[in-house]
């Protein structure tokens, strides 16, 4: 029974883990989290530390951004993990790994990952949520490419992420008024 096991997030209802690189987090990811909160009591956003995968933002930077974005949403927990997802999941009470699907091109990779995770841990199910029609073309990779070349990504990522991207690529950060924020 859950109560007899040790772990940080036990006995708090239905929990889903949303693993990914989140390099950086986009409104596509945020939309999935918000919709998942309609189904689950808690969502753990688990940022993967993957030494093999070159990331733009360090894990600390990604954690800081995601924590700030969800600071007023207590049922979202933001964490990072190294190594196998199934080993991280074992430390929680989650039985579901949440993934977003943007297009059929995502499906094959996701199907293989979900099947492998299921074979490593038969208690772990993967739940796929379809992207919102507003964000099906949004990926962290294209956001980084566009931002690096000076294109506007406002409306596709939170303002905090827009600022962090500009800082990374040494582009001028617009003053609040110039980008039409309310003071």
Which residue, 54 or 175, is less far from ligand ADP as judged by CB?
A: 54
Which residue, 92 or 156, is less far from ligand ADP as judged by CB?
A: 156
Q: Which of 84, 85, 106 is nearest to 97 (CA)?
A: 85
Q: Which of 49, 53, 61 is nearest to 85 (CA)?
A: 49
What's the Cα-to-Cα distance from 13 to each of 97, 134, 168, 172, 182, rounded to whole Å?
15, 30, 39, 45, 37
The footprint of ligand ADP on residues 32-91 (CB under 6 A) is 32
Of 3, 6, 53, 175, the active-site residue reads 53
b (16+ CB within 10 A) / e for 36-62: beeebebbbbbbbbeeeeebbbebebb
Sign of the torsion angle spanned by Cα atoms 15, 21, 25, 30: negative
Of 35, 67, 91, 102, the active-site residue reads 102
Q: Which residues contact 155 (CB under 8 A, 6 or more apart)?
A: 27
Q: How far is the CB of 119 from ligand ADP (least distance, A)?
A: 19
The residue range among 1-9, 38-46, 117-125, 138-146 that interacts with ligand ADP, by the rule CB under 6 A, is 138-146
Candidate list 16, 36, 78, 138; residue touching ligand ADP; CB under 6 A:
138
132 part of the active site: no
Q: For residues 138 and 28, is the Cβ–Cβ distance under 8 A?
A: yes
The footprint of ligand ADP on residues 16-35 (CB under 6 A) is 20-22, 26, 28-29, 32
140 part of the active site: yes
Candidate list 106, 121, 125, 163; residue touching ligand ADP; CB under 6 A:
106
- Residue 5 has what DSSP assignment? S
Decide if residue 135 touches ligand ADP (CB under 6 A): yes
Catalogue the active-site residues. 29, 53, 102, 140
Binding site for ligand ADP (CB under 6 A): 20-22, 26, 28-29, 32, 99-100, 102, 106, 131, 135, 138-140
């Amino acid at each position: 029974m859950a109560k007899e096991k040790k772990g940080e997030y036990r006995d708090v209802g239905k929990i889903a883990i949303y693993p990914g690189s989140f390099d950086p987090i986009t409104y596509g990811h945020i939309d999935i989290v918000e919709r998942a909160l309609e189904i689950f009591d808690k969502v753990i956003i688990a940022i993967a530390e993957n030494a093999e995968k070159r990331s733009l933002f360090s894990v600390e930077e990604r954690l800081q951004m995601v924590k700030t974005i969800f600071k007023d949403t207590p049922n979202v927990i933001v964490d990072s993990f190294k190594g196998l997802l199934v080993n991280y999941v074992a430390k929680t009470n989650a039985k579901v790994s949440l993934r977003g699907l943007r297009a059929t091109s995502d499906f094959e990779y996701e199907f293989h990952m979900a099947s492998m995770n299921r074979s490593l841990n038969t208690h772990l199910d993967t739940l796929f949520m379809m992207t919102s029609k507003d964000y099906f073309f949004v990926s962290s990779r294209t956001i980084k490419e566009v931002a690096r070349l000076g294109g506007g990504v406002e409306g596709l990522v939170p303002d905090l992420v827009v600022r962090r991207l500009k800082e990374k690529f040494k582009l001028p950060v617009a003053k609040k008024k110039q980008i039409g924020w309310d003071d």
